[in-house]
């Protein structure tokens, strides 16, 4: 709501101006000086040209060598010089404004990234209101009006408006009331057109979510991830049609706001025409009646023309109004995420030594009344491997998010060596937890960055990378790449390459090994095996268990046969632990684990063959 209120005021433009020196103090100063020079040039030219025209007749009478002739030469030089400056100044000013605008846009986008990354948790990135702010901070609508455009437009607007005001002041030396009338009419036109633009801007802000949806559909057509399925399923026409629907729905509000009070614009323009006609008539009559000189006539005609700039609401106004709207969104996003803190100030160095406990933990995702957990009790012993199994939707991945403190429980508590997790500083605890998720990120970056991101300005530690790759069995993958560790893992970039699903799994496992070397104490494997068959998945889990022996390790899977080597296995169902033990004891109990183990094993046996006995299944 706060952002929508600002859409109807000059607040966004004022906010943009305040951020310019923050982005680049020196460039802002140079731009302001260039703007000042550009602003005074039209008035200077009008006065100089008036002196030039007015000096012609006296010079003809007295001769070029007379005092009048000398004044004429000075006026000519001044007029020519100012004219030359007028031609050079706008390109220079535009260049400075664009440079400053790009600095501002870059600065604001870094601030958006910083604001989005500031909260230790991730709830804000799943909140539509926050995502609307992020979208607005990137630019209004799918046209993406940016602060760069706003700064360039502001530069032109300020120069023309101040020049117009100076011209009106010059006109006031002839008839103050005529200058006042011109100003009132011109500014009324500006106000009417500004109302229209503000209503349009309010409509754009109001429809941010719809524009986000339209932008998402557009990106489906323009980016690689969905390209295969779009063509296989023949979705080309559907995408174009759906984008048109979303775009039209978003623009209806904007277009409806523009249809109001159209008559006011035409009336104001008619009034401006009548005022200009009156001004030219009065000045022309005064010249014919010898009330003013021809030089004075030239100056006053220029003043009337210059003051007309005040009523222009052109693309500069549009770009300034819409582009500046991103700035309050950035500031509001910073305020919003700054308030999204998580408690805790204790260091997590070396933890856990004994265990991590979930005591009566309840949790529901923000905005949902459906509980994932109501009363979850679970102990994760330090230095041992724990497997968590269960059907899809049992809450396995949510447990990882709570463990990594991406969310806090809505009830109950999680403790690390009897210290509440909420007492630990989140940025200290999170590096202690390394997780390979089922949808782990495949960075379109060099393979070295996919395994271990080097500090800014530092070269990758190749020896450490080689050790991580060797432990994960990924050394052959790296060796086959055209540029080794420098190879970019995406065909979107020149000389980039793509890996198979199994190769990506090795890279992800190497990432976990690099995290261990960097100090992670809790390792989690959260079903990152969608591209592997049962045997390859079991081999990956076995290798992970061998590599992490003696570390606190959590394995998550819905395939029961892949985790039986874990020290301990718990079955999660309906948000609670229903069975707990090792593979042999759970099979002997004959409960849910044994039932699901045999059921899954039967799928890999020939028809008519009995499922193997407990412990007999080979993955």
Q: How far is CA 361 from the centre of its chain?
A: 34
Q: Which one-letter DSSP state was computed for residue 1?
A: -
217 pLDDT tier (thresholds 50, 70, 90)? confident
pLDDT in tens, 302-337: 777 777 666 665 567 777 877 888 899 899 999 999
Q: Which of 75-89, 212-226, 371-385 has the lowest mean pLDDT?
A: 212-226
DSSP reduced 3-state for 414 = strand
Number of H helices, E strands in the chain: 24, 10
Give the CA count within 13 Å in the CB-facing half-sphere of 586: 28
157 pLDDT tier (thresholds 50, 70, 90)? confident
Nearest CA among 531, 546, 541 for reference residue 442: 531
Share of the chain above pLDDT 70, in %: 86
The residue assigned the tokens 């959260």 is: 526
DSSP reduced 3-state for 553 = strand
Nearest CA among 17, 227, 206 for reference residue 101: 17
pLDDT of residue 611: 46
In sequence order, the 6+-apart residues with CB closer than 8 A to the CB of 384 are 552, 553, 567, 568
Q: Is residue 357's pLDDT more than 60?
A: yes
Rounded to an integer, what distance in angstroms lies between the CA atom of residue 343 and that of residue 426? 8
Give the CA count within 13 Å in the CB-facing half-sphere of 612: 14
User: Quick one: 416 exposed, middle or buried, by C-beta within 10 A (0-12, 13-18, 19+)?
Assistant: buried
Share of the chain above pLDDT 90, in %: 30
Q: Which two tokens stand for residue 223?
A: 């980016």
Q: Which two tokens stand for residue 59?
A: 């010079």
C-alpha torsion sign, points 597, 502, 544, 382 = negative
197 pLDDT tier (thresholds 50, 70, 90)? low
Q: In what order do the strands lie in the sheet with 385-389?
A: 433-436, 522-526, 552-557, 385-389, 568-573, 576-581
Q: Which residues pair with 552 in a beta bridge?
A: 522
Stretch (H or E) spanning 412: strand 411-416
pLDDT of residue 264: 61
Nearest CA among 207, 302, 214 for reference residue 254: 207
Mean pLDDT of the chain: 82
- Mean pLDDT of the region 119-124: 89
Q: Which domains does the chain have, with CATH numbers?
A: 2-206+261-338 (1.20.1560.10), 355-602 (3.40.50.300)
Q: Which of 23-27, 157-161, 337-341, 410-414 has the lowest mean pLDDT?
A: 157-161
Q: Which one-letter DSSP state was computed for residue 354?
A: S
Rounded to an integer, what distance in angstroms lies between the CA atom of residue 468 and that of residue 517? 8
Cβ count near 458 (within 10 Å): 8
Cβ count near 493 (within 10 Å): 11
Q: Which one-letter DSSP state was computed for residue 548?
A: T
pLDDT of residue 8: 45
Buried (b) or exposed (e) across 113-148, using 16+ Cβ within 10 A?
Answer: eebbebbbbebbeeeeebbbbbbbbbbbbbeebbbb
Degrees, nearest 5: CA angle 163-166-172: 145
C-alpha torsion sign, points 547, 549, 553, 556 = positive
Q: Is residue 4's pLDDT more than 70?
A: no
pLDDT of residue 257: 57
Nearest CA among 374, 366, 423, 432 for reference residue 403: 432
pLDDT in tens, 488-536: 998 888 888 999 888 998 898 899 889 888 889 999 988 876 566 677 7
Rounded to an integer, what distance in angstroms lies between the CA atom of residue 527 and that of residue 516? 19
Most confidently predicted of 46-55, 211-220, 397-406: 397-406
Q: Is residue 154's pLDDT more than 70?
A: yes
Q: Which two tokens stand for residue 573?
A: 């169902």
pLDDT of residue 612: 46
Phi-psi region of 497 (alpha: psi -120 to 50; beta: other; left: phi over 0): beta
- Mean pLDDT of the region 233-251: 79
Q: Is residue 614's pLDDT more than 60?
A: no
Nearest CA among 412, 400, 428, 411 for reference residue 343: 428
pLDDT of residue 7: 43
Cβ count near 226 (within 10 Å): 14
pLDDT in tens, 423-453: 999 989 998 998 888 888 898 889 999 998 7
CA-based max dimension of the chain: 124
Rounded to an integer, what distance in angstroms lies between the CA atom of residue 115 and that of residue 337? 6
Cβ count near 39 (within 10 Å): 21
Q: What are phi and psi of 473, to 5 degrees?
A: 70, 25
574 pLDDT tier (thresholds 50, 70, 90)? confident
DSSP reduced 3-state for 174 = coil
pLDDT in tens, 451-497: 987 665 677 889 999 999 998 889 999 999 999 999 999 888 888 89
Q: Which residues pair with 415 in a beta bridge?
A: 357, 420
């Amino acid at each position: 709501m706060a952002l929508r209120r600002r859409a109807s005021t000059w607040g966004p433009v004022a906010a943009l101006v305040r951020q310019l020196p923050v982005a680049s103090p020196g460039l802002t100063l140079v731009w302001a000086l260039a703007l000042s020079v550009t602003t005074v040039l039209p008035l200077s030219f009008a006065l100089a040209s008036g002196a030039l025209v007015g000096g012609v007749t006296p010079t003809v009478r007295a001769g070029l060598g007379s005092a009048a002739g000398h004044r004429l030469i000075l006026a000519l030089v001044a007029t020519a010089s100012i004219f030359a400056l007028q031609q050079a100044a706008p390109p220079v000013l535009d260049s400075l404004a664009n440079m400053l605008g790009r600095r501002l846009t870059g600065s604001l986008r870094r601030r958006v990234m910083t604001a989005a990354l500031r909260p230790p948790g991730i709830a804000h990135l799943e909140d539509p209101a926050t995502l609307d702010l992020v979208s607005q901070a990137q630019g209004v609508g799918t046209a993406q009006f940016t602060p760069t455009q706003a700064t360039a437009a502001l530069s032109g607007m300020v120069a023309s408006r101040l020049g117009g005001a100076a011209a009106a002041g010059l006109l006031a030396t002839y008839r103050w009331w005529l200058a006042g009338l011109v100003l009132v009419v011109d500014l009324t036109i500006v106000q009417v057109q500004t109302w229209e633009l503000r209503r349009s801007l309010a409509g754009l802000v109001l429809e941010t979510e719809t524009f986000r949806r339209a932008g998402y559909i557009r990106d489906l057509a323009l980016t690689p991830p969905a390209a295969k399925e779009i063509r296989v399923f023949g979705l080309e026409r559907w995408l174009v049609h759906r984008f048109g629907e979303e775009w039209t729905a978003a623009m209806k509000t904007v277009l409806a706001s523009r249809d109001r009070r159209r008559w006011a614009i035409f009336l104001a323009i008619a009034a401006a025409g009548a005022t200009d006609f009156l001004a030219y008539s009065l000045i022309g009559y005064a010249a014919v009646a010898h009330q003013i000189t021809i030089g004075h006539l030239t100056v006053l005609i220029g003043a009337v023309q210059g003051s007309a700039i005040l009523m222009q609401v052109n693309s500069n106004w549009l770009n300034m109004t819409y582009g500046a709207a991103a700035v309050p969104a950035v500031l509001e996003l910073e305020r919003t995420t700054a308030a999204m803190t998580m408690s805790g100030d204790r260091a997590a160095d070396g933890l856990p030594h004994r265990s991590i406990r979930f005591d009566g933990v309840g949790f529901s995702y923000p905005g949902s009344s459906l509980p994932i957990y109501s009363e979850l009790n679970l102990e994760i012993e330090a230095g041992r491997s724990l497997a968590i199994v269960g059907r899809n939707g049992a809450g396995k991945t949510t447990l990882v998010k709570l463990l990594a403190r991406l969310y806090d429980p809505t009830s109950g508590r999680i403790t690390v060596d009897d210290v509440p997790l909420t007492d630990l500083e989140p940025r200290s605890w999170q590096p202690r937890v390394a997780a390979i998720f089922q949808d782990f990120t495949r960075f379109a970056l060099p393979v070295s960055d996919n395994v271990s991101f080097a500090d800014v300005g530092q070269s990758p530690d190749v020896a450490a990378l080689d050790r991580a790759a060797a432990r994960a069995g990924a050394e052959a993958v790296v060796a086959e790449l055209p540029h080794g560790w420098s190879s970019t893992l995406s065909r979107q970039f020149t000389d980039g390459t793509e890996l198979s699903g199994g190769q990506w799994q090795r890279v992800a496992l190497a990432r976990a090994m690099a995290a261990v070397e960097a100090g992670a104490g809790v390792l989690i494997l959260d079903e990152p095996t969608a591209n592997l068959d049962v045997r390859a998945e079991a081999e990956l889990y076995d290798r992970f268990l061998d590599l992490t022996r003696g570390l606190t390790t959590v394995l998550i899977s819905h395939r029961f046969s892949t985790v039986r080597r874990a020290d301990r296995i718990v079955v999660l169902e309906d948000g609670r632990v229903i069975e707990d033990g090792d593979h042999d004891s759970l099979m002997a109990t004959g409960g849910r684990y044994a039932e699901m183990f045999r059921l899954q094993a039967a799928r890999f046996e020939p028809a008519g063959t009995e499922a193997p006995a407990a412990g007999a299944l080979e993955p």
